[in-house]
Amino acid sequence: MDSKVENVLGGMEEDDGELTTTEELLSDIRIMTLPGEEEGSASFEIIGEDHTLGNALRYIIMKNPEVEFCGYSIPHPSEDKMNIRIQIYPEYWEQTRPYDALMKGLDDLADLCDHITHAFKEARDNFTDPGDNSEQR
Amino acid sequence: MPAPAIRRNIVGVTAETVTNVSSTDFPGHWPGEDHSWNINHFRRVFKVKFYRNTPLLSQFDLIHTDAAIANTLRRIMIAEVPTLAIESVYVSNNTSIIQDEVLAHRLGLVPLRGDKDALRGLSWYLRGEDVIPREPTDEDTVVLYLKKTCERNPEAKKTDTDPDKLYTGHNVYASDIVFEPAGRQIKDFAHDPVRAANPDILIAKLRPGQEIDLTMHCVKGIGQDHAKFSPVATASYRLLPDIKIKKPIRGKAAERFAACFPKGVIAVREGEDGQKEAVVDNVRNDTVSREVLRHDEFKGIVELGRVRDHFIFSVESTGQFDADEIFLSAVGTLKAKTINLKRDIYKMLRKQALDAKRAREAVEEATEEADVMDTQ
């Protein structure tokens, strides 16, 4: 249970006095764990996301060597929901839970965005448009 | 046996089929190779190369990233980068032949422009939860007017048949839209007022006696809600074509070979022995039409393909923001998505912990009660 995310919850048990405020804050959560969760595997349902985040997140989570499987689906086109499933290799169960892989994926995606922004700005600022006579389409 | 690394990122294109279509750069796929995510490796290999950069059109290459990332950014540019567009049209008078609702729809699709920083600074207009709409303010709504009346031109000759000579005010153009700044907008849009990005858009036609008089409310929105909010006319990518000539193509055949491709793709050069030879010149011009594969004489001599991790982006702006800025906004939006979702995961975990605690307490209470009952 020494998973990284569990540490964040430290102190959670004590803040009894804030239960009501917490309850309010916890009202509009866009993500939930689907039934059937096990030690090394879980499916999450994310509301308000689609292939845009789904595929990028699946790609970056599959890049995690501790992850055995990651896939996403849009169960029904009329529902604004995206399901993502993560399975961890059994040898990493001690240190990593599916949440951790999901969190790492989001962190990695944020890092990737930062670098794309940096590289894009650099390339743009070092570029002068040659005018109309170059490059078709 | 692993494919040579250099060909691994080439998607093969044959006459009727495609080969080697999926990315394989994942951990555990290739023995002895580490493909796990490494930001430092990404920083080393990822390249951006520009080919055009005008306010309305940006063409650039993203090299050494995955289709998942390229496609996400393309989708965000189209559907999730916010812009300002006409949302509500209040018709005071419309005696033209174009119906109110059709006119309103046409107006909604007119791309607007104005001071970019001021536009970015606009907040979202949130409709009230109840039936009564929330009062618009200078922070979330831009008000435009359009008033035009058509009259006969008194100077027209009797023999004239050209509407341009017969009437005045018979064409309603996007340039006739007038911006009425309110509150803070007076200062924010002082140097660059809100107006149609393309003044020559013909909105309606009138005849003498007809009039259009309307007030429009513009709000910020995203393309997911309606295409009029999309900041791009097109945002697309294609993979860099790849042409491999396996055996020299000389003489007359070189000319025939070059004719199978668009201009500039294949150059015919003179070799040392004075014979003509076909060489690949500019693959970017190729459309991968596979014409060359229909000719038996080139069978087995040429291999067509596309480079899997080389994306040629083309972003065309509708005029509200510069094309390169739209791409940067898309990257920013993707990052914001990750941050928001992370916050929600923390919330979910807290909620789960809270629920578990409640359940535990309930069980404890129940057992306590049971104990009391037992002692009684």
Query: What is the chain B residue with the closest CA to A131?
Result: B52
As a whole number, mean pLDDT of residues A47-56 equals 94
User: Which structural domain, as residue segments, surrounds residue B290?
Assistant: 247-299
Sign of the C-alpha dihedral, residues A114, A116, A119, A120? Answer: negative
Does B74 score more than 80 pLDDT?
Answer: yes
- Look at residue B204 and tell me if it is in a domain: yes
Interface of B with A in 276-335 (CB under 8 A): 284-285, 314, 324, 327-328, 331-332, 334-335
| Contact criterion met (CB < 8 Å) for B26 and A62 | yes
| Contact criterion met (CB < 8 Å) for B354 and A22 | yes
Closest residue to A115, CB basis, from B43, B285, B338: B43
**Quick check: A34 contacting B, CB < 8 Å?**
no
Most B CBs within 10 Å: which of A21, A22, A59, A61, as the mutation test of the B interface? A59
Tens-digit pLDDT profile for residues B179-208 = 999 888 998 888 999 999 999 999 999 999
Question: A-chain residues within 8 Å CB-CB of B344?
Answer: 29-31
* Count of pairs with CB atoms under 8 A, one residue in A, one in B: 156
Q: Both B218 and B270 in a single domain?
A: no
| Contact criterion met (CB < 8 Å) for B60 and A51 | no
Question: A-chain residues within 8 Å CB-CB of B28?
Answer: 65
Q: What is the CATH number of the domain that holds B168?
A: 2.170.120.12
Burial class (CB in 10 A: 0-12, 13-18, 19+), B191: exposed
Phi-psi map region of B22: left, alpha, beta (phi>0 left; psi -120 to 50 alpha): beta
Question: Any idea of the CA torsion for B218, B220, B223, B228, to the nearest 10 degrees?
Answer: 20
What is residue B323's predicted lDDT score, i.e. its pLDDT? Answer: 94
B283: closest CA of chain A, how far (Å) = 11
What ipTM does this complex have? 0.88
Does B15 score more than 70 pLDDT?
Answer: yes
- Look at residue B149 and tell me if it is in a domain: yes
- Look at residue B103 and tell me if it is in a domain: yes
Interface of B with A in 62-101 (CB under 8 A): 62, 65-66, 68-69, 71-73, 75-76, 79-80
Q: Both B92 and B160 in a single domain?
A: yes
pLDDT band at B147 (very low <50, low <70, confident <90, very high): very high
Cα separations in angstroms, B373 against B360, B361, B369, B370: 20, 18, 6, 5
Query: What is the chain B residue with the closest CA to A80?
Result: B224
Q: Are A58 and A84 in contact (CB under 8 A)?
A: yes
Measured CA to CA, the distance from residue B146 to residue B214 in angstroms comes to 5
- Domain endpoint, select from B205, B230, B255: B230
Q: Both B212 and B109 in a single domain?
A: yes
Q: Both B171 and B203 in a single domain?
A: yes
Closest residue to B51, CB basis, from A22, A122, A134: A134
| β-bridge mates for residue B11, sequence order | B306
What is residue B157's predicted lDDT score, i.e. its pLDDT? Answer: 87
What is residue B42's predicted lDDT score, i.e. its pLDDT? Answer: 94
What is residue B244's predicted lDDT score, i.e. its pLDDT? Answer: 93
Tens-digit pLDDT profile for residues B161-185 = 889 888 999 999 999 999 999 888 9
Buried-exposed string B13-28: b where 16+ CB fall within 10 A, e elsewhere? beeeeeeeeebebbbe
| Contact criterion met (CB < 8 Å) for A120 and B66 | no
Q: Both B87 and B225 in a single domain?
A: yes
Q: Both B122 and B147 in a single domain?
A: yes
Domains contained in chain A, CATH given: 28-123 (3.30.1360.10)
Q: Both B271 and B206 in a single domain?
A: no
**Quick check: B349 contacting A, CB < 8 Å?**
yes
Query: What is the chain A residue with the closest CA to B37?
Result: A63
Residues 6+ apart with CB under 8 A from B317: B55, B56, B57, B58, B231, B232, B233, B323, B326
Does A2 score more than 60 pLDDT?
Answer: no
Q: Both B196 and B98 in a single domain?
A: yes
Measured CA to CA, the distance from residue A136 to residue B261 in angstroms comes to 14
Ranges A15-24, B5-14, B146-155, most confident: B146-155
Number of domains in chain B: 2
| Contact criterion met (CB < 8 Å) for B349 and A26 | no
The 3-state DSSP class for residue A114 equals helix
Does B365 score more than 90 pLDDT?
Answer: no
**Quick check: A129 contacting B, CB < 8 Å?**
yes
Measured CA to CA, the distance from residue A45 to residue A37 in angstroms comes to 12
